[in-house]
Amino acid sequence: MSQKRRLILLAALLSGLLAVSLGAAQPVSALTTITAYKAQTPVSIDGVVSQGEWSDTPLIAESTSGMNVAFKQNGTGLLFLLEWQQSSSYCYDKWCFGGIEIANSSNYGEMGSASTPTIMILLSTAFQSGYDEFISTGDTTPASVEQSGYATQSVCSLVVSNGTYTGECYRPFHLTNASANDPFTAFASGTPLEIAFAVGEFSSPGQHLATDMATYSLILSNQTYSGASSTTTTTQSSNPTTGVTTTSQPSNTNTQSGSGSDLLAGFPGLNLVTLYIFAGVALAIGILLGIGVALRARKLVVRK
């Protein structure tokens, strides 16, 4: 068999082996879990992070959206904190927004679909109240829940200070006049939610930084958090709205950065499967080059 034919057959064999190994790696990797621990400190929904207010749950630095987020639950509903920065590319005027998208577990449909809608909770100074909820049924402009005949379930407050947007929200587990597709009913009973984060501009549709629905899941915990570190705080004078409070003793908080899949999310289009492909191709090229060199050396030895 000629050297050229051997190399062709070997390349075909390696391609087949790579196809088999990559085929096994195709399923979506496990979602990174964010835990909403049992609240120990009260929260006033006023867009102001008071001392110790979020010290009982991890503050998570989400790398793709650039948000700092925190979640906890007080038995009656979900409390969450969203912080992001003004930027010249994705958040530069009153039309800037930040928020979350939630869906039932195993939906994986970014912006939902007609059969599996998602719920968006968005905060922006463009809204009269500073926030609103939307139903998304695919790659079209989401409709507000009011447009669909339902009621907004969340209570939020947004404050902007020195280029920092700080939003605090409370969303009850017991829903009133909510969409039948709202995932919170199952969430309250212990089923995880898919959750995504986004920062962008209403004035420039499609101009945003956002995670997909296959990156994070959110679960409730009846356990208290026992991390240790300091949380990012923002101070700004405002007129507080009606507070949502919990009663217990405070503890310390932790700044939690993303794990492997979060870090990969910081590079658009890059994921574990892509890395496997790059590694496999590099390995195949290395093997072929090594064999070619060996055969060439053998040929020279035979000539001598």
Q: Domain residues of the chain, as ranges?
A: 3-27+271-303, 32-265
Residue 92 is predicted with a pLDDT of 93
- Euclidean distance between CA atoms 63 and 105, whole angstroms: 22
Given a contact cutoff of 8 angstroms between Cβ atoms, the answer to whether 79 and 170 are in contact is yes
CA separation (Å) from 264 to 49, 59, 259, 261? 30, 20, 9, 5
What pLDDT, on a 0 to 100 scale, did the predictor assign at position 228? 45
79: which residues sit within 8 A by CB, 6+ positions away? Answer: 36, 39, 43, 71, 72, 73, 168, 169, 170, 244
pTM for this model (two decimals): 0.66
Bridging pattern class, strands 208-210 and 164-172: unpaired
pLDDT value at position 57? Answer: 97
Give the burial class of 192: count Cβ atoms within 10 A of its Cβ; 0-12 exposed, 13-18 middle, 19 or more buried.
Answer: buried
* Partners of 22 in the β-ladder: none
* Of the candidates 123, 125, 150, the residue with the CA atom closest to the CA atom of residue 135: 150
Distance CA 45, CA 142 (A): 26
| pLDDT at res. 160 | 97
pLDDT along the chain (304 residues), means of 10: 42 32 36 94 96 95 96 96 94 95 79 84 96 88 92 97 97 94 85 93 84 92 76 31 34 30 31 44 60 56 48
Write down the pLDDT at residue 12. Answer: 37
- How many contiguous H segments (helices) and E segments (strands) does the chain have? 4, 14
pLDDT at 155: 98
Which single residue is written with the structure tokens 């068999």? Answer: 1
- pLDDT single digits (tens) 230-242: 333 332 323 333 3
Residues 6+ apart with CB under 8 A from 54: 41, 43, 70, 72, 81, 231, 253
Query: Domain 32-265 classified CATH 2.60.40.1190?
Result: yes
